[in-house]
A and B are shown apart, each in its own frame.
Chain A
Amino acid sequence: MSTQTAPKTKPQIAFFDFTSCEGCQLNKLNLENHLLEILEHVDIVEFREAMDDKADAYDIAFIEGSISTPSCVERIHDIRRRAKILVALGSCAVTGGINAMKNLQPIEDVRETVYGKDKYLFPTLPAMPVSAIVKVDYEIHGCPMSIPEFLVVFKALVMGKQPIKPDSPVCVECKLRENECLYDRGMVCLGPITLSGCDAICPSFGQFCTGCRGLVPDANKNAMLDILTDHGLSLQEAEKRLLLFNSYKQPDTFK
């Protein structure tokens, strides 16, 4: 900051990607109707998928992707040091996402399968959420991240307020929309223990919930496994469904 009376500056925000499909970042560019309004409030100073510029410090850093290599660890520490507020964007960053399924197998086997004889050139780690390495201030769930939730967090941060964190399951949103329960259509759905905030978008269009937003706090996983097996899944299949987006959370705590 200069010593002169500076004009009121907008918060400087930046986007970073780690191990991910970059779909969450793309999802932000899909905010077409809102992009100009968003830019009224902030300056985007770094966003690899959309621009070349780089910056030294950020008011808000948005992080996409899980941490899965030693260089990821180094980079996320560096970003954290330069960011006032750090927000994890999307399943991979928030829970480790589907990347963490690799943690269920010996890491050396995974490395060999992916890189073959060149595996020694590519050091790897079990996939971790950003919060496993640095302090994360806010999380935006979903695969890809939920746009409405992004806007809620964005608006709150720009206004200097605490965003409301959803903690009820997807069933709540289905009931508010008066959706027919997918269990009554012969499907099995992870809605009962998956964090809401997506407006039950999948069940509303007839697709059962795969649990991309992660589990509600204190989820009763054993009861969920009972529900899945009572509705026709084998225990093995039921556990696999639960692990799809929740592998990072110590798989051996499942029954």
Chain B
Amino acid sequence: MNKHNLLLQNIPDFVAHLQTYGEVHAPCQKGENSFSFEQVTDPSRVVLDYARTLQSIRKYFLPPTERLLNFSLTDNTFTKVAIENNHRIFLGVHSYDMKAVLKLDFNFSHRTPEINYLKRRENCTFIGVSYEPDDYHFSRSVGITVENTEGFDLFLDRHENGYTVQVLTERGTEITKDFTALGEALEIPEISRQFKNKIKFNYNRLPEVMEQSWNSPVWEEVAQRCVGCGTCNLVCPTCYCFNMVDNVDLKLTDGSRDRHWDGCLLSSFAAVAGGENFREKLASRQRHRIYRKFKYITDKTGDPWCVGCGRCTAYCTAGISIVEIVNRLSDEFEQTHLRKSSAPVGQKIQGVSL
């Protein structure tokens, strides 16, 4: 594996260099205090030091709203909308968002392949970047370190004056080989970044915790504070549920079938014809959300379907924390299903001279 050094002052040139290989999409300032992945026109707008973007890069592969087909009511025909898949370079992706894309790849290629998604996933180059975990990140607890390079072609690891560039694939070599401003990699001791926010159990124990938590009072307590706005679903990089709507034009002769993101926290998500709603209560919808991340797909794949980005918590106006929910369920599980140890761990250690 090749390593290079990239100085901070050379980043705009690096971005401009990347633009010769395809569209570059990178985090840019959005609003007053937020960031968003946007197509880069001005390399100086790229921000590589950021906590998280409002939406992950899933929005490129599963757009918030998407026209699937156009139809004609006069002759009862339809045509599919062509999917564009230009060469795109995603610069400044955090390891958890990359992992989320790999999870969506599984969801959309498994059993019935989702053609539009898979088509958009072609011709993509991913350049990762390290980050300093804030109060909301907890990726380490779901097995993803800051420096995890899975899925990336290049990875930029921050040091004092710039980045150590790891070249991970042939594509990575191709897009860096002619960039002359890359220097020789510095000798920097490896640092493992620490997370303040943590799930108390190892993630491989969570399906077991969830198994025992169906009737937990935690769901109702969370529901008391929740307004059911669906934000946690809509900002989640591994959520992929959608709804479809047919729209007609004002001439009433032509129309389109459109798909848009949906969320299981929304009241009518599980409503069906005939007026039945399988998850009418907020408590059952909260439980469903958590089970979707730590039980249902986890039972099948062995992996949690949460990547620890912290968006659902950071953007919840009611301040509901997914880590807090999981930890409370774990506490409850510990108290009711695990053998109580005779003394707390701390006291045992006191007996040993430290």
Contact = CB atoms under 8 A, between A and B. Distances in A.
B33 interface: yes
Main secondary structure of the interface of A (DSSP, over half): helix
Contacts of B115: none
Contacts of A180: 30-34, 54
Nearest to B320: A223
B227 A176 contact: no
Given A41-B252, A155-B252, A159-B248, A168 B227 contact: no
A54 interface: no
Interface string B249-287: 011100000001101001110000000000000100000
Interface residues of B, number: 39
A38 B249 CA distance: 11
A218 B271 CA distance: 14
B245 interface: yes
Contacts of A177: 64
Contacts of B266: 167-168, 172
Interface in B33-63: 33-34, 36, 54-55, 59
B230 A172 contact: yes
B248 A155 contact: yes
B321 to A, nearest CB: 14
A227 B319 CA distance: 8
B252 A216 contact: no
Nearest to A166: B268
A37 B251 contact: yes
B231 A220 contact: no
Contact of A185 (B33, B55, B260): B33
Pick the most buried of A181, A183, A219: most chain B CB atoms within 10 A of its CB.
Answer: A181
Interface in B234-251: 234-235, 245, 247-248, 250-251
A73 interface: no
Interface in B209-242: 223-231, 234-235
Given A158-B252, A193-B229, A227 B317 contact: yes
Contacts of A218: 228, 267
Given A171-B234, A185-B32, A192-B317, 19 more contacts: A40-B251, A41-B252, A164-B245, A168-B267, A169-B230, A178-B55, A180-B33, A184-B31, A184-B315, A193-B229, A216-B228, A218-B228, A220-B224, A220-B227, A220-B282, A223-B225, A227-B227, A227-B317, A227-B318
Interface of B: 30-34, 36, 54-55, 59, 64-65, 223-231, 234-235, 245, 247-248, 250-252, 260-261, 263, 266-268, 282, 315, 317-319
